[in-house]
Amino acid sequence: VSTAARIIKNDDGGFSGAVIVYSDVTGLVEALSAKEELISNVSHEFRSPLMSVLGNVDLVLDAADRLSPDSVHRLEVVQRNAERLLSLVSELLVSASAVLAVHPRRTDLAGLIENSIGSVQAQADASNVSLTTDVPAPLWAHADPLRIGQALDNLVSNAIKYSPDGGKVTVSARRSESWVQLKVQDTGMGISEEETSRVFTRFFRSQAARQAAIPGVGLGLSITKTIVERHGGAISCDSKPGAGTTFTLTLPAEGTPGS
């Protein structure tokens, strides 16, 4: 049941009454979970044939010296596209909330940040983007290392991907008794004010990203938001077109009551 309430005031601002509306949303909830299940099943079914395509292409390419250069080139195109499809399918599978279970435990976020930075260093070097961290270590939080690692990977690799040559990406953190706050800040293309509220929507891509032909499918941030919210945390985006973007992620600190 979904509820909405409104207080009715009389002319002098005093309390006059209230209206409470109860709506039965059973159908809506059922439709949503049927959609999640469909995405999950379809993406799962896509994986096996794709793995078979990739396995067979790999085998043929192992004997590349017996093939013409043109055949090798064409097989490599098949391989690249099959890999792209596989990663899209994996992202879709993760984005179907049924499989996005989180198992939070005492986790050092400083270590996770270091891992994420390590895994994108080559991407940053290739586009001449500098990576800086300002993180106290260790930084304990109540987090699932696999999932929060995935969220950080998404944010840091986006920060590089949407930054021009010579850009700067900074990951910083601070903590209070009950919260840990992480910021991933870049000096990239930014997102228009009107679009900022939509970045966490599945399949959303900004006009600037599409115009610049930066590859992507618009799933990473929706997955990231789901992960963070399943930890009882929150994520927000602050951006200025042409100046840069900051994503702020808040998670419960280790030992937070109820976490």
Can you give the binding site for ligand ADP, defined by CB under 6 A?
A: 154, 158-159, 162, 186, 188-191, 199, 204-206, 209, 216-222, 245
CA distance 195 to 221: 13
237: CB partners within 8 A, 6+ apart: 191, 196, 199, 200, 245, 246, 247, 248
* Choice between 53 and 88, CB closer to ligand ADP: 88
> Considering the complex, what minimum distance in angstroms separates the CB of residue 132 from ligand ADP?
15
Other beta carbons less than 10 A from residue 203's beta carbon: 9
**Please, which residue, 67 or 208, has the CB nearer to ligand ADP?**
208
Between 139 and 237, CB nearer to ligand ADP: 237
Report the distance separating Cα 42 and Cα 13, nearest Å.
55
Contact by Cβ (8 Å): 184, 159 = yes
Residue 227 CB, shortest distance to ligand ADP, in Å, is 12
For the CB of residue 38, give the shortest distance to ligand ADP in the complex, in Å: 21
Q: How far is the CB of 225 from ligand ADP (least distance, A)?
A: 9
Beta-carbon neighbour count of residue 85 at 10 Å?
Answer: 16
Closer by beta carbon to ligand ADP, 149 or else 188: 188
- Give the nearest residue (CB) to ligand ADP: 216
